[in-house]
Structure 1
Amino acid sequence: MLTKDLCRLESMAPEVPPGIKPDLPTPIRKPLWHDDPAVLFSLSTHIIDAAPTRTCPEFEILHEVVIPTHARSQAADLDPKTRQKMAKENVAVMWGWRKDLEDERVAQGKITRYERSLWVCLNRYVRTNLAGKSKGITLLFTHAIGINKETWEPVLYRLLKSDAGRDIDEIWVWENFDTGDSALLNEGRLNQLGQLVLTLYASNTVLTLLEPQPIAAGSSSRVTVAEFEERTRQGFSDRRLLAVGHSFGGNLCARACLTYPRLFKAMILADPGIVYRDEPTLRPVLTFFAQGAFSRKNTWGSREEALPLLQKSPFFGSWHAQPLQMYVEHGLFSPPGSDGVILKMHPVWEALCYTNGLQRSGDMFDDVPKLDEKVYIKWVMPDVKKGGGLSGVKPSALLVKLRPGFTANVNIQGAGHMIPLEKPDEMAREIEDTIKVVFGSSAKL
């Protein structure tokens, strides 16, 4: 077991000299509600430096062997059974790498640290009619593995049109460094295999909270070192934070809250990647997701070609139309010199994320009872008829009871694991309900 919390940041990420920070990888756009006069929130996209220290060694074999193997698996004349066999074999190799790295760590008796500069991309939505020094609610959203940040917008749109929307000042939607636009910014530097990757992802989530958010919701200036350090000790003096995390993102929110509980007033965890370490279904579930990711088609002639094909797939076919459209519009891109489109997050990186999740999922399960009792937790879980959660009905029912007190849980009828993507209306209602429970029916009063 670790004796040091790697999610705890010892200092502010260094100021990046002018001219080094990259340009946005995709054009500035308008939000989903841009022509709805009832929703007065603007959209801007930001780039911040990721937490500088990580436990991820560079792993050249990913580029030299695994990426080319995946490319061969995409051949049009390859039969499905052969493609599935290649996915199964390569994911098994990934599990082997994970074991070798963990054995090495145990033998060394310490965690090897690496310094590597990576970028994190965020969408920020700010109320355009803020009145003075408002102390409304700030929301932070974190995504599931492989799901770009823009897929949260259908949920946001519904939430901002609700009664609770008037109490929200700003929203940040975080994107991990290997996903979506962040992956484009970090192209060529993602050949890593993390020993403690979820903990380091969580430190990036914390950095999102501590470093980029300006003093006031209407401002865009970077915070000072003094303000950064004050936030680590006392939390926010100028805002009230509600974090919403789905799947892998739910694990990150919980881990960040464990380390810095004063930052949070409440969390909504949608079927989070938090499972008892000895749960026999955990590794098979992660393997299933990893194999599905590895075998996923990565290239289409156009977005118009991609959408109907994704709609027919077992995984994407259960999604609501709007999140799927946002996935196709913003999770794909056209490489320079290409007439087609490809996924921003390569399927190999997505598969690797699942094999990296085993240990940290169990660690967070052990730590759930330690989450600060002052922080409200709303567990939003799948329909019991669809498993009730990542680990099944009974283990998931245990999970939502681990931290007693200021908490609630609900199972969304008809929803599987991908709750925000399958049921954006229901997800928005659960967030609205949480705002009313935690902050009152008129949070700004």
Structure 2
Amino acid sequence: MQTEQVVFNCPDNVLNPPGRTLKMCAKRYWRAATSEDDSGLTLLFVHGIGANKEQWEPTIDGVLCRLPCPVREAWAVEWQTCGDSAVLNREVLSASPGRAYLSVSAFEWSEAIAEFIQSPYLQGRRIVLVGHSAGAVAAVLTLKHLTPSSVAALIQIETTATFREDYYRKIEDRLPGLEAVVKATRNRRETWSSRDEALEWMKARIPWKLWDPRVLRGLVDHALESIPGAGPGVRLKNDRKLEAITFPHVEPPFAAAEELQRISTFVPVHFIWASGATLVPDFMRESFESRKIAASVRMLEGGHMIVQEKPDAVAEAICAILNTSIHVFHSRL
């Protein structure tokens, strides 16, 4: 599997006015045998809150190895507050006028992804958008900025998109869990003496001890950076405060649910859920089926972080969707 990374300037908006440009890193993955197949699909992977683009790599590798139908390439894009993007944007994010931190929601990220899809990197490709958790929300919201034919299909993995009435149903039961996640993120350890120490520390703790070893190794290799001017030592590239203030954003998931209902009549929407996940209650999942939004539904064993925990199972599910729907994708574009 070959790779290359690019840096994309995000579009101007209220958070990104001229002269204060945020950047989005994207990484391309391909195999020489398929990269020149113009009829092949391009898979665009979108990660969740606090993750980084490289956490998709075991899944992407699994898809490119398994898939018999043609896939031209895969791309993974990175939230402006995460990974390499966070490093490039650190000065802008911490120096926003009138506030201590600049919060970049799925709304703003979706604008950047939509611009990227229309850029020379992806223009004219047959694109399947694959999103996980809040990244699934951002993937859906890109359709608000694109023509219907720009995307062949959506694959929603443990999406946090939700209809407003469903979100507030039994909200009192779920608020403690959300507050615990925000608190844990704010208090998370973010420095270690070395990458090896960081790896051993994470191996012994939730949620990292549940992750596939390849994903965890990728986190240590790609999501940590040397601490400048402090001698030996590494730290997370992500700012935990920026990550924490992203969790309570509810309007992007509401808008994404409405967008899913709007587009499902002309863009196939495939759902992948994790049987052991508690973040998205069953009745919220079922609301997509009752509204006849789903082109297909698959259930995998694992938790909400299924991409990190079971990348091979996720890759197999994606391949199954592509293999059973490839004729639909090609007929649309």
Same-fold status (TM-score > 0.5): yes
1:307 partnered with 2:199: yes
Whole-Å Cα distance in 2 between the matches of residues 46 and 401 of structure 1?
A: 41
Q: Percent identity?
A: 25
Q: Which runs of 5+ in 2 are unaligned?
A: none
Q: 2:237: which partner in 1?
A: 344
2:281 aligned residue (384, 389, 392): 392
Q: 1:213: which partner in 2?
A: 121
Kept after mapping to 2: 8 A contact 1:139/1:241: yes
Q: 2:79: which partner in 1?
A: 176
Whole-Å Cα distance in 2 between the matches of residues 442 and 401 of structure 1?
A: 24
Q: Which runs of 5+ in 1 are unaligned?
A: 1-40, 57-112, 216-235
Aligned pairs for 1:57-76 within 5 A: none
Q: 2:9: which partner in 1?
A: 49
Kept after mapping to 2: 8 A contact 1:243/1:268: yes
Whole-Å Cα distance in 2 between the matches of residues 360 and 208 of structure 1?
A: 20
Could you tell me which amino acid in structure 1 is paired with residue 127 of structure 2?
A: L
CA shift digits 1:335-356 (9 cap, x unpaired): 333310000001111112113x
Could you tell me which amino acid in structure 2 is paired with residue 393 of structure 1?
A: D
Shift of 1:422: 0.7
Shift of 1:240: 1.3
Kept after mapping to 2: 8 A contact 1:283/1:358: no
Could you tell me which amino acid in structure 1 is paired with residue 121 of structure 2?
A: Q
The change in CA–CA distance for 1:131 and 1:306 in structure 2 (over 3 A counts) is closer
Q: 2:61: which partner in 1?
A: 157
Could you tell me which amino acid in structure 1 is paired with residue 21 of structure 2?
A: S
CA shift digits 1:195-242 (9 cap, x unpaired): 883211110111121114156xxxxxxxxxxxxxxxxxxxx3xx3111
Aligned-partner SS, 1:265: strand
Kept after mapping to 1: 8 A contact 2:34/2:70: no
Could you tell me which amino acid in structure 2 is paired with residue 128 of structure 1?
A: A
Kept after mapping to 1: 8 A contact 2:79/2:109: yes
The change in CA–CA distance for 1:197 and 1:115 in structure 2 (over 3 A counts) is farther
Q: 2:135: which partner in 1?
A: 249
Aligned-partner SS, 1:381: strand
The change in CA–CA distance for 1:195 and 1:151 in structure 2 (over 3 A counts) is closer
Q: 1:262: which partner in 2?
A: 149
The change in CA–CA distance for 1:369 and 1:175 in structure 2 (over 3 A counts) is same
Aligned-partner SS, 1:53: coil
1:200 aligned residue (88, 108, 119): 108
Could you tell me which amino acid in structure 1 is paired with residue 7 of structure 2?
A: I
Whole-Å Cα distance in 1 between the matches of residues 116 and 179 of structure 2?
A: 30
Whole-Å Cα distance in 1 between the matches of residues 269 and 102 of structure 2?
A: 29
Aligned pairs for 1:31-430 within 5 A: 41-55=1-15, 116-130=20-34, 134-164=38-68, 167-191=70-94, 197-213=105-121, 236=124, 239-260=125-146, 261-277=148-164, 278-279=168-169, 280=171, 283-337=175-229, 338-355=231-248, 357-383=249-275, 385-387=276-278, 390-404=279-293, 407-413=295-301, 415-430=302-317
Whole-Å Cα distance in 2 between the matches of residues 361 and 269 of structure 1?
A: 13
Shift of 1:381: 0.9
Kept after mapping to 2: 8 A contact 1:149/1:173: yes
The change in CA–CA distance for 1:116 and 1:286 in structure 2 (over 3 A counts) is farther
Whole-Å Cα distance in 1 between the matches of residues 177 and 257 of structure 2?
A: 16
The change in CA–CA distance for 1:214 and 1:358 in structure 2 (over 3 A counts) is closer
TM-score, length-normalised on structure 1? Answer: 0.66
Shift of 1:148: 1.0
The change in CA–CA distance for 1:393 and 1:327 in structure 2 (over 3 A counts) is same
- Higher deviation after alignment, 183-192 or 194-203: 194-203
Aligned-partner SS, 2:51: coil
Whole-Å Cα distance in 2 between the matches of residues 412 and 339 of structure 1?
A: 41
Is the radius of gyration larger for structure 1 or structure 2?
Answer: 1
Residues matched between the structures, number: 319
Aligned-partner SS, 1:189: helix
Aligned-partner SS, 2:93: coil
The change in CA–CA distance for 1:321 and 1:190 in structure 2 (over 3 A counts) is same
CA shift digits 1:353-410 (9 cap, x unpaired): 113x222222322333112422111111110x443xx331222222344343x61112
Shift of 1:158: 1.2
Kept after mapping to 2: 8 A contact 1:293/1:351: yes
Shift of 1:286: 3.5
Shift of 1:181: 0.3
Whole-Å Cα distance in 2 between the matches of residues 372 and 259 of structure 1?
A: 16
Aligned-partner SS, 2:4: strand
Whole-Å Cα distance in 1 between the matches of residues 104 and 61 of structure 2?
A: 35
Coordinate RMSD, CA, aligned? 2.5
The change in CA–CA distance for 1:403 and 1:251 in structure 2 (over 3 A counts) is farther
Could you tell me which amino acid in structure 2 is paired with residue 199 of structure 1?
A: F
Shift of 1:439: 0.8
The change in CA–CA distance for 1:365 and 1:163 in structure 2 (over 3 A counts) is closer
